[in-house]
Amino acid sequence: MLMSEPIVHAKIVRRSRQWSLVWLVPLVALGIASYIGYEAWRSQGQSVEVEFATATGIEAGKTRVRYKDVDVGKVTQVRLSDSLDRVKVRIAMDRDIAKKLHADARFWVVRPRVTTRTISGLSTLLSGAYIALMPGELGEMPTIITGLDEPPTLSGASDGRQFWLSADRLGSMDVGSPVFYRGIAVGEVVSYTLGKDDRMRIQVFIRSPYDRLVRSETRFWNVNGIDIKMSSEGVRAQMESLLSFMQGGLAFENILQLDAEHPVQEGHLFALYPDKDSITQDKPSVRLSYLMLFTGSVAGLSNGARIEHKGLEIGHVLDVRARFDARQLTVELPVLVELWPERLALGSDAEQGRSLLKAMIEKGLRAQLKPANLLTGQMLIDIDYQSKPEAVTVRLDSGHLVFPTVQTDMEQIMHRVGGVMAQLEKAPIQDTIQELHQTAKGLHRMLDGKQDASVLRQTEQLLKQVNQTLANMQTLPVQVNDTLVQTQTTLQTLNKTLSEDSLLQYDVRTLMQEVARSAGAIETLADTLQRQPNAVIFGKE
């Protein structure tokens, strides 16, 4: 039997660990490395990618990014886009600034620029081009930001509001053109684009505190350098400012209205008027197109010519061009016009305006060419009722309703003159000439002095008789003098005869006394016969 080996018991003794100062060295080194890495990470900045049309003046590792002339980043990479039509620029932005970039942030390259509006970026001739930015205010920053091809007109530091203007054409204005209020530049044009309705959309910025002047009754108009007008008072020229004369611009003003003034929000759309004189007329919202066919010349009628009704502008000419009629082998001159029914108080409904204009045409409304300016020869179209119009039916031609027309005043005069000439051609002119010839012969015979029955011979005899009468009248004063002497003698004799102590006067008085006594006797006899009629026979009782 084997003896079992004794069991050995091992005892594990645990000793406590103590930190050694040696371990501080790697910890400090790790902290220093972490700090250096953090500073390197911060100094590297946050990466931002911006797309530009070209990379002119941009170099990787050299071109700086500035905000208010403070360096806030650097260009780290410049490469082409996948479509090769743009340039992608990677920028290492300062992280504090990168946190404040928004969706409407804008980047542009500052380089020397010389335009008709301004001269900028001259400082970069020595320092080189750099990228400027505006942080924006709204939205989160996108992954890729589209840079501007041109510097923005606003610095971003100005307070104010932006508004939109609607116009038929851009005119002489451009980005950066000033906006005036009573001659003071209070804003500028920010941008412009073509809208879906084929009209220009112009964005303007009005600085504070002038932006509070923009209300619902505000009217904007185009300032075209010098405004020259000719009237009965003479020629008047007016210029908004020297700046507007050099580069054009806009102006606005508030007009008086019956309605109370209403404030407008930023981004409100206003109509842009062509000049200041037209701001009192509302911009038409309804535009009806018609075709006018004139029979005579349309010289002086151009695109944009006025269409008037009793002096009120109710539309304008859109197009004037020739059209060949293959069936008649003639050249027509159709005029495409645009009418504004709101100016005629026909409402703002297009169908209602067309129906009312149709009724007015049936009543006698017609279009006629008239001179607008006698000096320049420009023409306008006047629409008014005619006294005896021909009956017409509104029809379609080339997709447009035809507005009936009448001849011009000169054409009517020439038409009447032509009618008179036609009647003269039908008249028996040859017979009339023969009668006039015979009449001339009779006058010749009457004036022939060799014939006794001529007017000259009879006139000569009449003159002889007149001379004889005048000769006889020369002796008349002597005869008249003798007659006056005899009349004077007769009057003297008559005076003596009728004097108070003359015998004739005594006889007349005696005769009158006898006549009075006789009258008394007759009166007595008449009285006796009245009382006693038989006294003539029997005598007086």
Q: Residue 49 has what DSSP assignment?
A: E
> Which range has the worst mean pLDDT, 22-31, 404-413, 462-471, 495-504?
495-504
Q: Which pLDDT value is given to residue 231?
A: 45
Is 350 within 8 Å of 286 (Cβ atoms)? yes
Amino acid at 153: T
C-beta separation of 334 from 322 below 8 A: no
pLDDT at 220: 92
Cα gap 129→52, rounded to integer Å: 14
Q: What is the largest CA-CA distance in the chain?
A: 254
> What is the DSSP secondary structure assignment for residue 137, as one 8-state letter?
S
- Band (pLDDT 50/70/90 cuts) for residue 206 is very high
Given a cut of 50, whether residue 155 has pLDDT beyond it is no
Tokens of 230: 């000719």
Q: What is the mean pLDDT of the chain?
A: 77
CB 179 within 8 A of CB 221: no
pLDDT (tens digit, 9 = 90+) per residue, 237-262?
A: 555 555 555 556 889 998 875 555 67
State the first-to-last Cα distance of the chain, in angstroms, to the nearest integer.
252
Kindly list the domain boundaries of the chain, sorted by start residue.
36-146, 160-278, 288-416, 475-541
Residue 165 has a pLDDT of: 92
Cα dihedral: 531, 533, 537, 539 (round 10): 10
Give the residue from 294, 364, 358 showing the smallest Cα distance to 323. 294
pLDDT the model gives residue 1 = 44
Instruction: Return the pLDDT at 233.
Output: 46
Q: Tokens for 458?
A: 């009879």
Would strands 64-67 and 70-80 be described as parallel, antiparallel, or unpaired? antiparallel
Average pLDDT estimate for 20-29: 72
228-245 average pLDDT score = 52
Per-residue pLDDT of 486-496, as tens digits, reads: 887 877 777 77
At 40, which helix (H) or strand (E)? helix 24-44
At residue 163, does pLDDT exceed 90? Answer: yes
Cα 462-466-469 angle, rounded to 5 deg: 140
Question: Is the torsion defined by CA of 40, 43, 48, 52 positive or negative?
Answer: negative
pTM recorded for the entire structure: 0.47
